[in-house]
Amino acid sequence: MEDLILKQSFWQQPTKQVMDELKTTNQGLSTNEAENRVKQYGKNVLETKGNTSMLQKFIAQFKDLMIIVLLVAAVISIFVGEGVDAIIILLVVVLNAVFGVFQESKAEEAIDALQELSAPHANVKRDGKVQTIKSEDLVPGDVVLLEAGDIVPADLRLIESASIKMEEAALTGESVPVNKSVDVIPEDNPPLGDRKNMAFMNSNVTFGRGEGIVTGTGMKTEVGRIADLINNAEETTTPLQANLAKLSKTLTYLILAIAVIVFVVGLARGQETLINMFLTAISLAVAAIPEGLPAIVTITLALGTQRMAKRNAIIRKLPAVETLGSTEIIASDKTGTLTQNKMTVEKVFIDNQLNDAGQVKPDELAEDHRLFDLMILNNDTKKIDGDLVGDPTETALIAFNDNHDYSSDNVINRLKRVAEVPFDSERKLMSTVNELGDGKYLLTVKGAPDELLKRTTKFDVNGQISPMTDAEIDLIQDTNHHLATQAIRVLGFAYQILNEVPNELESDKVEKDLVFAGLIGMIDPERPEVAQAVKEAQEAGIRSLMITGDHRDTAAAIAKRLGMITDEQIDTAVITGAELDQMDETEFAKKVDQFSVYARVAPEHKVRIVNAWQKKGKIVAMTGDGVNDAPSLKQADIGVAMGITGTEVSKSASDMILADDNFSTIVIAVEEGRKVFANIQKAIQYLLSANLGEVLTLFVMTMMGWAILAPVHILWINLVTDTFPAIALGLEPAENNVMKQKPRGKAASFLSGGVAGNIIYQGLLEGFITLFVYTMALTFPAHAGSELIHADALTMAFATLGLIQLFHAFNSKSIRGSIFSATTWKNKFFNWSILASFLLLSATIFVPGLNGIFHVSFLNLLQWLIVIGSSLMMIVIVEIVKFVQRRMGV
């Protein structure tokens, strides 16, 4: 029977056939049969992947090539006797690994969150009696009883419905509760939102009651399919991770090549011993390795997350900060993300005129118009602790009046309900009878305008009742159609004054000869700030897409209001899930550029859309708040979940959470991400050009047979100049044009945009200036004696190499911009870091005892002037190059 269940389209089958296929009755299963089916189908729970242990996750952090390079550097440092430096490097590596373990978002968290949404218990019929059992013990064929407030415990085919409504927004994207029925649906594969006779696991019953037969449990439910998609979503590599991996590999090859060349050439010259040349090669390797880079990247990202958190963007994975900056596509769920997920009265048709809701004043008009009383009385909304609880459509009617100073409580207390005819999905109407006083009663009727007009004979204008004419009917129908084309949900209201409460409360006996009072148009409105955010994204070269489970017309109308599409694009830029199913991957890949709105889609469609853009080389951000968004959030390069309306499932599957559910926060986060990338790029340019200068200095000294800088010199310079200034570059404020640039895309790296060229010429420049000072010191010695000459020359080279890097840090504050601007001294941490680094560097020369440890000598005033003057040339030359580049439009 298991294979049979998988193949059945239960929505297409009458109740009797469903029972026969599942071998059950409306009295439910026997206890023995239920126990047998538990063994056959398993528990009604969601499965997760095998969890990796904490140790496995920790070890996995050391697979990164840069980490391996750093471990090699630590071993080298121990070999040359620099144990302190080795300890520092190892601490950086271990802390980086620990941080990585706790930052990673794992799929099992999302599945656990899905499981927590499930109902703990269910009311079922077993052995012909109603019993309460654990939901995990449900099996196919069980008959489940549902009522308002219940969470659906499994997928069901409804066999009985008493005006039952279900809220399925988290699963389907439908913004309002769905009216369910038991009628057969003939289509072969309708979207989930159109399967009116099915109830899905984890959806909520908001109104009415009903019964259903379990058709699927655990991983065989629609939620189970989502859990499977989450489990099988591919782990994507972020641009940051790809960039660092590529950079690490390149550096490793270069470092090994240079070290080998120096070692071989040194031996070939015959002037050095094997051990000396080996130590020299090690010094070169130490000079070339940017051991502070992983720590600097981590710190820069961490600081970025703190800034984002202050602006309501909470980062769950550190690399996501930088990924945001390279985003090219933002694929956004509609309900609760682009819209407020709250039905709101937008239009009021009264006195034969259509008005914006803001122009209507119930507190002033209510005396002559019954429409506002009808909105309140024909309504089942409850107030609990000041909150409106009930159907979103009805709560919107109460909120409209209360917000316009017309108290719903006063109306309800004044006009007590004494009878009602409940809503029915066939007649699409609901009626109540309320006391008016003086022996009179008010019949209120609410529902679909077309159905209401069939029962209406009069209309009310300014309190004056007149016979309904064809002209009025045409006007009302045209208004209804006009609002419907804008995806506005329309309700009609009518009434009648009765002398007594009807004896027979049936539709055909009560709902007749009505007086038409007006129309109310409602919509789940777009968030007011989203249109501007979409515009800013467009200016930044980012394309915004809408992906929703809602209807085509609703999605298109909201997209048009947000500026995602124009009137001319409605026919070509909007596609439904059913239309998408008719396309193969090749056709969809060709047409994906033309679609901006995807309506009536299923979870697998969202994953498919994300995949299509990723295959085109685009970096995709996916936003959402529902269970149905979780697989695509995990698949996307960066998943963005809503913090307020978002389910725990979507949050667990995401990389970033919006604390304020504000779409515009995404644009703010993109700006922050671009700033983070720019600052990391500045730090990398600074570090690698400095290390290249060190390598060039040591390489030439070795080739020329000169006395060379010792490993202790290089390690101290790296420690002093690579740490604080590089971290401080990560705190640089964003440059003015950061959101006017196009996304750099997946192909870009930290070395693109001219940075690689800058590193080369600036590194060569640092090396040449240092060697120039060294040769000058040898040519014009300040002291007699060859030992002093060489000591002074090495000290001047050491001081120059350190100072030149500190001055170069100012150059690195902008890849192209001049340092002579108002923002040069704005970064106070940078200023203090340069001062601290200068003092640490100078202390090795000035402080007695330290200069002995570092094998340096005191310098006189002239020597210091030469060192400082030569180091300042770094700023002058780089500024000239930047000026030329700007003039040439580079």
Determine whether 776 is exposed, middle or buried from the number of CB atoms within 10 Å of its CB (0-12, 13-18, 19+). Answer: middle
Whether residue 211 lies inside any domain: the answer is yes
User: 603 pLDDT band (50/70/90 cuts)?
Assistant: confident
pLDDT tens-digit readout, 563-597: 999 888 888 999 998 899 999 989 999 999 999 99
pLDDT tens-digit readout, 177-209: 788 888 888 888 888 878 889 998 878 787 888
Task: Supply the pTM of this predicted model.
Answer: 0.66
Whether residue 72 lies inside any domain: the answer is no
Are 502 and 597 found together in one domain?
Answer: no
pLDDT beyond 90 at 494:
yes
Model pLDDT, residue 484: 85
Of 707, 729, 665, the closest CA to residue 796 belongs to 707
Other CB atoms within 10 A of residue 50 CB: 5
Write the CATH number for 879. Answer: 1.20.1110.10
Name the range with the highest mean pLDDT among 379-383, 491-495, 769-773, 879-883: 491-495
User: 515 pLDDT band (50/70/90 cuts)?
Assistant: very high
User: How far apart, in whole angstroms, are the C-alpha atoms of residue 349 and residue 355?
Assistant: 6
State the chain's mean pLDDT as an integer. 81
- Secondary element (H or E) of residue 354: strand 353-356
pLDDT tens-digit readout, 13-70: 898 898 988 999 888 899 899 999 988 888 888 765 555 566 666 676 666 555 665 6
Other CB atoms within 10 A of residue 671 CB: 19
Whether residue 99 lies inside any domain: the answer is no
Overall average pLDDT of the 139-143 stretch: 92
pLDDT beyond 50 at 107:
no
Of 673, 641, 637, the closest CA to residue 660 belongs to 641
CA dihedral sign, ordered 645, 651, 657, 663: negative
DSSP state of 647: -
Are 354 and 497 found together in one domain?
Answer: yes
Whether residue 104 lies inside any domain: the answer is no
Of 762, 747, 854, the closest CA to residue 804 belongs to 762
Write the CATH number for 436. Answer: 3.40.1110.10
Are 128 and 214 found together in one domain?
Answer: yes
Model pLDDT, residue 6: 41
* C-beta separation of 443 from 431 below 8 A: yes
Model pLDDT, residue 605: 87
Are 531 and 517 found together in one domain?
Answer: no
Are 293 and 205 found together in one domain?
Answer: no
Of 63, 69, 86, the closest CA to residue 290 belongs to 69
pLDDT beyond 60 at 270:
yes
Write the CATH number for 616. Answer: 3.40.50.1000
Write the CATH number for 140. Answer: 2.70.150.10
pLDDT tens-digit readout, 287-338: 676 766 766 777 777 777 778 888 888 887 777 777 788 899 999 888 777 8
User: How far apart, in whole angstroms, are the C-alpha atoms of residue 731 and residue 726?
Assistant: 9
Are 700 and 830 found together in one domain?
Answer: yes
3-state secondary structure of 832: helix
Other CB atoms within 10 A of residue 649 CB: 32
pLDDT beyond 60 at 105:
no
The amino acid sitting at 510 is V
Of 154, 140, 196, 148, the closest CA to residue 21 belongs to 140
pLDDT beyond 50 at 115:
no
Whether residue 823 lies inside any domain: the answer is yes
* C-beta separation of 317 from 669 below 8 A: no
Model pLDDT, residue 64: 59
Overall average pLDDT of the 58-85 stretch: 64
Please indicate whether residue 142 or residue 794 has the higher confidence score (pLDDT): 142
**Range of 247's domain?**
239-312+668-887
Of 709, 705, 702, the closest CA to residue 793 belongs to 709
pLDDT tens-digit readout, 604-649: 788 899 999 999 989 999 887 767 677 888 888 888 887 777 766 6
Which residues are catalytic, by number? 333
- Of the three residues 214, 232, 250, the one that is the final residue of a domain is 232
User: How far apart, in whole angstroms, are the C-alpha atoms of residue 341 and residue 578?
Assistant: 24
- Of the three residues 622, 642, 661, the one that is the final residue of a domain is 661
Angle, CA of 839, 841 and 843, to the nearest 5°: 65
Model pLDDT, residue 520: 96
Domain count, the chain: 4
Q: Would you state the torsion angle of the CA atoms of residues 60, 65, 69, 74, taken in this order, to the nearest 10 degrees?
A: -10
Model pLDDT, residue 491: 95
Whether residue 100 lies inside any domain: the answer is no
Are 293 and 414 found together in one domain?
Answer: no
Are 286 and 379 found together in one domain?
Answer: no
pLDDT beyond 60 at 472:
yes
User: 454 pLDDT band (50/70/90 cuts)?
Assistant: very high
- Give the DSSP letter string of 730-780: TTPPPPTTTTSSPP--TT--TTTTTHHHHHHHHHHHHHHHHHHHHHHHHHS
User: 739 pLDDT band (50/70/90 cuts)?
Assistant: confident
Are 291 and 160 found together in one domain?
Answer: no
Contact partners, residue 615, CB within 8 Å, separation at least 6: 589
Whether residue 467 lies inside any domain: the answer is yes
Please indicate whether residue 115 or residue 385 has the higher confidence score (pLDDT): 385
Are 655 and 672 found together in one domain?
Answer: no
CA distances from 266 to 274, 281, 704, 712, 716 (A): 9, 9, 10, 20, 25
Report the Cα 250 to chain-centroid distance in Å: 32
CA distances from 306 to 315, 616, 680, 739 (A): 9, 33, 16, 20
Residues paired with 329 in a beta bridge: 543, 620
pLDDT beyond 50 at 463:
yes
Whether residue 102 lies inside any domain: the answer is no
3-state secondary structure of 119: coil
Are 364 and 468 found together in one domain?
Answer: yes
Backbone angles phi, psi at 529, to 5 degrees: -90, -5
Are 722 and 800 found together in one domain?
Answer: yes
- Of the three residues 473, 502, 523, the one that is the final residue of a domain is 523
User: 79 pLDDT band (50/70/90 cuts)?
Assistant: low
Indicate left, alpha or beta for 163 from its phi (over 0: left) and psi (-120 to 50: alpha).
left
